[in-house]
């Protein structure tokens, strides 16, 4: 039986047991990060918007910032019984949709900063990033299935990649 797709909106996260299909549509500068434990057959997806919660002044959804999203997702995964040391990561997103000359550093380049922050956090937490499709200037739709632990990335004009 094919599981119903669970759509993970902006700044949201979801952790599920097999069989599960986690989906995020239309990622631009945001990051879709999947953490999974094949042994316990558990996977989670978080839709990260910004790199760093220290710039935020108010309480918000933990999935919004990379540095709060990872601990929150780890929490949900361990509640389901995932083993921390078995977790692997796959991610996609972080595009810069509008390329103005000189915009490689500014607000429009938030995608790059999201990639850097997420990658650095994974390294710090010693979670191996086994596959990723990030950067560039095209949007992506992604889905992750616990049938084969594959992250499917659809990019306009570039077709479908299986990671």
Partner 1 sequence: MEKEELSSLQLDALREVGNIGAGHAATALSGLLNRPVDMAVPEARLVPIFDLAELYGAAESLICAVLIRAEGDFSCNLVFMMEEDKSQELADLLVGSFCCDDEEMLYQLRDSALSEVGNIVLGAFVNSLSAFTGFSLPVSVPAIAHDMLGALLDVVVAIYGISGDMALMVQTSLSVKGLDGELSGQILMVPDPGKLPILLGKLGVL
Q: Is 75 a catalytic residue?
A: no
* Residue 49 binding partner 1, by CB under 8 A: yes
Q: Is 142 in the site for partner 1 (CB under 8 A)?
A: no
Residue closer to partner 1 by CB (options 10, 150) is 10
Q: Which of residues 73-102 bind partner 1 (CB under 8 A)?
A: 95-101
For residue 114, the surrounding DSSP H or E stretch is helix 110-124
122 binds partner 1 (CB under 8 A): no
Asked if residue 11 binds partner 1 (CB under 8 A), the reply is yes
Backbone angles phi, psi at 68, to 5 degrees: -100, -25
Q: Taking CB under 8 A as the rule, does residue 5 contact partner 1? A: no
- Tally of CB atoms within 10 A around 65: 23
104 touching partner 1, by CB under 8 A: no
CB closer to partner 1, 4 vs 56: 56
Asked if 136 touches partner 1 (CB under 8 A), the answer is: no
> Which strands make up the sheet holding 42-48, listed edge to edge?
13-17, 42-48, 31-37, 88-93, 129-134
**Long-range contacts formed by 49-56: CB under 8 A, 24+ apart:** 49/10, 49/11, 49/114, 50/110, 50/114, 51/110, 51/113, 51/114, 51/116, 51/117, 51/118, 52/113, 52/117
Counting residues that bind partner 1 (by CB under 8 A) gives 36
Nearest approach in angstroms of CB 149 to partner 1 is 24
Among 55, 85, 105, 148, binds partner 1 (CB under 8 A): 55
Which CB atom, from 8 or from 42, has the smaller least distance to partner 1? 8
- For position 58 contacting partner 1 by CB under 8 A, the verdict is yes
Q: Of the listed 14, 30, 66, 70, which one is catalytic? A: 30
- Please return the burial class of 102, using the count of CB atoms within 10 Å of its CB with bins 0-12, 13-18 and 19+: exposed
Q: What residues are labeled active site?
A: 30
């Amino acid at each position: 039986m094919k599981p119903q797709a669970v759509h993970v909106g902006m700044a949201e996260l979801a952790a599920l047991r097999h069989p599960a299909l986690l989906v995020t549509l239309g990622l631009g500068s945001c990051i879709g990060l999947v953490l999974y434990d094949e042994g316990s057959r558990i996977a989670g997806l978080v839709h990260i918007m910004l790199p760093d919660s220290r710039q935020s002044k108010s309480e918000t959804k933990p999935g919004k910032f990379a540095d709060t999203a990872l601990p929150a997702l780890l929490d949900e995964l361990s509640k389901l019984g995932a083993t921390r040391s078995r977790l692997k990561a796959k991610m996609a997103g972080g595009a810069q949709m509008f390329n103005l000359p000189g915009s490689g550093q500014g607000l429009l380049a938030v995608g790059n900063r999201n990639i850097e922050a997420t990658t650095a956090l994974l390294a710090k937490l010693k979670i191996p990033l086994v596959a990723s499709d990030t950067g560039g200037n095209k949007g992506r739709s992604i889905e992750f299935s616990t049938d084969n632990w594959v992250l499917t990335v659809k990019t306009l004009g570039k077709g479908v990649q299986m990671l």
